[in-house]
Chains A and B, each alone.
Chain A
Amino acid sequence: MASISIDNVRKSFGAAEVIKGVSFEVADGQFAVLVGPSGCGKSTLLRMIAGLESVTDGDIKLDGRRINDVPPDQRGIAMVFQSYALYPHMTVAENIGFSLELKRVGKAKIRAQVRQVADMLQLSELLDRRPSALSGGQRQRVAIGRAIIKQPRVILFDEPLSNLDASLRVQMRAELQRLHQELKPTIIYVTHDQVEAMTMADTIVVLNQGNVAQWAHPIELYRRPTSTFVATFIGSPRMNLIRGIIAGQEAVPSFAAAEGWTVPLAGSTAARGQPVWLGIRPEDIRLVDAGAAADLSCKVAIVERLGAETYLSVVNGADTLLVRVQGDVALRPGDTVQLALERAGFHLFDQTERRF
């Protein structure tokens, strides 16, 4: 297995620069996820690592060796395509064994290895079928089998679960994790789904408009997003952002929301009078009974009762806040609620949307 280092990599298509100097590293055996909104350049970056796109500038290194100009098949990298791209005229066994066949491996040896991979992926019964006779999840597994039979140093996944329905996606997520634990390959996985990123990754690279917005462990990303972009992209439902300024005394600063309410801040480094964004996750807002100490009161706009938890969309002037409440809460739109904000869950961002 292998480590990958991306060093100030750039990619231009004509005059348009889509990757603007990206750097990060993936350690040996790590499961790295590139995540970002569509058009952020994550698939392009993955294709550059695979060798399907040229590198305009910067270095891609595999185990310290520069591979910018190494042909795709000699990099020791396998790729699972978003569309799977299973060869429709070949059986499952032929699809999985194709790369070995091209390497002129003996027929008996190919058969043995294909069988081994198929056993691991529960495809043994399907080896003689063509891709058209398989379900979505089975096709996905064949695509993975085609990648791992090469015993690659790195496996790249390009949004592999986006064509599956929700329940199958959860199942395949677990299978991918199991596979990663068994084989311990280095994995770079592209997705726009932050849930996939959070559940599977050892390390997440958040990309935005061709730049790395943040590169960290999933929980670090969740706890300490460095910008409002990462703050709102990671976490579901998304973090609330409230516009306001720093007010109060030097020793006891407070946040004064543009909508009129105030909340004390513990140890803020921001200067008084400075306009800021206060970020707070929906789970860090609590409902409190009338009469108890509350930070602000809001009007309920939308109630989503999921049983185990309830999402409330509440309105305070121009701000709409999302509140995540444990258990079932029988509120109705139009009701007034008292909210308390968890001080530990405060994230302050300056006007350039960077974290203080």
Chain B
Amino acid sequence: MLNHRVIPALLLKNGGLVKTHKFKDPKYVGDPINAIRIFNDKEVDELMVLDIVASKEGQEPDYRMIELFAGECFMPLCYGGGIKTMEQADRIFNMGVEKISIQTAAIEDLGLIREVADKYGSQAVVISVDIKRTLFGGTKLYRSATSDTDKENWKTFLTRAVDAGAGEVLINAVDKDGTLSGPDLELIKEANSELDIPLIALGGVSSLEDIRLAVEAGASAVAAGAFFVFHGPHRAVLITYPKYEELEKLFMNGVNE
């Protein structure tokens, strides 16, 4: 039986590991290489590393660091942040990264998605969308590089990105980021109803039960940041990951798939 993937999503800022709250106030949580070693030992299903300032500040991806990550990861690694050209993508894949996640460049033009999918296959391209709820509960496509919302309907955008060759969708609930207040299940349901390709839900997870609920709502995989790096009411930094047996039990008992 295929297990649902549970993926730590690590945020990078200028070489340090940070955790944000609703996409703001990045708090330094430690050395990324050290964190990756710990996640490696814990045998995580997959790892996602997202550079939150590369696109915003027009920086190149931090190749030296990405190469170090790839050398340490004996599980699939997805990198996102600042990738705008095929040359950059080539360089990152060559280091041993399995997937790249694209957002900013894709909102401008889906050509890069098409090009990467043609060369490396759809499974190597994740289209990443950040979704923000409006005051009235509606949903808007958020542009993390410029901190504003886009006019295009996010579902239409996703359909176009999938047509262009994206093999997986990462959907990040902006208002849930770092809040540990549970995932946006309605959003997951809505996204899942549109997709035939795997959906990774990110944002709000605070417990194993939340992971189960997100999967029940239609996520193929569940990613989380704060849940895996903070511990206790005072948010002390402690890297954790559930045991395989716990995850197996979680999905066996509750998910009808």
Answer yes or no: are A and B bound together in one complex.
no
